[in-house]
Structure formats: structure tokens, C-alpha cells
Structure 1
Amino acid sequence: MDTKECIERLAEFSSEIRKITLKRLEEVPEGFINWRLNNTAMSFAHLVKHIIDVDELFFSLSTTNKRTFKWEMGSEEPHLDVDETIYKSLIKTLKSNGEKRNVIISEFNATTINHLVRNEKEEEMTFWWFIMRKVLEHETYHRGQIAAYLKVLKGESSQL
């Protein structure tokens, strides 16, 4: 498989991850967008905003000459409390960001996918690694949180 084909598959993988995240968020019961599992957990709305923030970081790194980033944990952010209108806007942004992310990833080539970025600790990684770890794995992790929260709200028990 050549590099271009690998990049296309990465873009498709990115789109599938976002599609499933949006599907899970459609399951959030009415009136529960600001619900949190506990006082330190992020709400559904906060998780959406947090994923959008990571998208914005990716867009900044991939469409500008900026190559340094600061990784901030969502639990360190102040709790986000939004109304239904803002939440719907966040969901719309999450959807459009997914489409934009797909386009940007598709436009990488063998050189650009290997450009280096570094975090505040001066740890370097390629864009490919940044996409895999900081964007896609990160979103998958939070989608797991969303799924677990939905099970709690629906009263489902896990089958061991």
C-alpha cells in the first residue's frame, strides 16, 4: 500500500470515528445535555466542546506554520453548562469539523504527514502520530465515556 492510499484510509477512519460519535450523541436523552456522572466528570455538552477544541487544535497545526501545541485535559477546564440551542450548535460544529478534518487529512502527502509537531514538554511527533493519538484515539476514548454515561442513564447493566 502506498502512502497516498494509507492517507486516504486514515481520512476514512477519521470520518467513521466522527460518524459513530455523532450517532452516540443522538442518544442523549432530552434534558440531559449538562448531566455529569460526578462533580469532576465532563457533561455530554462539555465532551462535545472538548472534542471540538481538539479539532480546532488540529486545524491550527495542520493549516498554519504553527508546530507547537499545549495539550490540556478536559477535566482541568471549568464545567460547561449550555442550553439546548447552544448544544445543537455544538453538534452542528462537531459534524462540520468532521468533514473538514477528513478533507485536511486527505490533503496530506508523504512529506506533510511526516512533519513534526511538539507539545509544551518539547516532545516531538509526526502529524501522523498526532492524528492517531491526539485526535482519533482521544475522540474514541471520549466516545467510550459517552457510551458508558448513556448506559448509566438508561439503567443498563454491563454483562460480564
Structure 2
Amino acid sequence: VEARAAVRAALEYEGPVYIRFGRAAVPVINDHPGYHFEIGKGTVVREGKDVTIVATGICVDSALGAAKMLEEEGISAEVVNICTIKPLDEEIIINSAKKTGKVVTVEEHSVIGGLGSAVCDCLCANHPVPVKKVGMQDVFGESGSAAALVEKYGLDAKGVYKSVKEFL
């Protein structure tokens, strides 16, 4: 749903765009009637009050799974889907950080120069809070099945849950 909407938005956009798609099938997150994709706008896909998990791409599903596990322990995690990193929806990130006071970013990408860096830049300038970046640390990528690599690098729901728990 989101990929289709992003392609349509890119066709209508004046100027260059870059869209990154994965190959693995992933659960559909935004299949509700009120969903509207807009370049530069994120969505809160789960309300929370204790920590914000900002995710993009396939990691949104992992963030939602981690939020469910955290809920079982009485931790309320807000999950924000950032579907475009540039331009970044700074308003949604700042508002969520003000509510929760802690932010974890999750991305299937290097934590250097990706979503985590963009979120850190935004919060540093506007509302400093502790941030943990979950993603590919400063290592070279590997080849393998998407599922195996997502698990290895802690980008599945269990891995995100563990990272959030360690951070809190």
C-alpha cells in the first residue's frame, strides 16, 4: 500500500526522488481507509507514552511487534512510521519526543547518515532527548536471506524489543 502510494507521489513530484524498496514480502501496515501518503509526512501507527520508536520501511512491523512485547511489561511505546527521510517530518518526531522523553530509531540501513542521523539532527536542534539508533552499526553489509540478516542485526521484533529494554 505504502510503496504504491510512494510511487504515485514520486510521479507527481517536481524534481528528483529516490525510493528504496526491499525484495522481501512484508506485512501491510497502512491498509486502513483513512491512510494517505504524503511526501515529508510520517504517521503515528501506535500511541504510547514511555518511549518513541521511530521506524522506516520493513522495520515498522518490527517496531510494532516490539511495542506489543513491551506492553506486556507495562511499557507504552509510541511507534512512528517515517516513510520519507528527506524531507523529514520533524513536527511528528518533536511532538512524540516531547510526549515520551526517549527515542529509539530503527532502520534497515546504516545508522550513519540514515534515519537515525536525521532524527538526531532534528532533536538536537529542537528538543534534545536521549536517542538510541538501531540499524546497521559501522560494519560492512553482508549477503544472505533478508529474514536471516534482519534477525542477525537485531532488526526483527525481538531485537528491537531487546534494544529498547536495554535503552530504558
TM-score between the two structures when normalised by the length of structure 1: 0.23
* Structure number with higher helix proportion: 1
TM-score between the two structures when normalised by the length of structure 2: 0.22
Bigger relative contact order, structure 1 or 2 (CA pairs below 8 A, ≥6 apart): 1
Larger Rg: 1
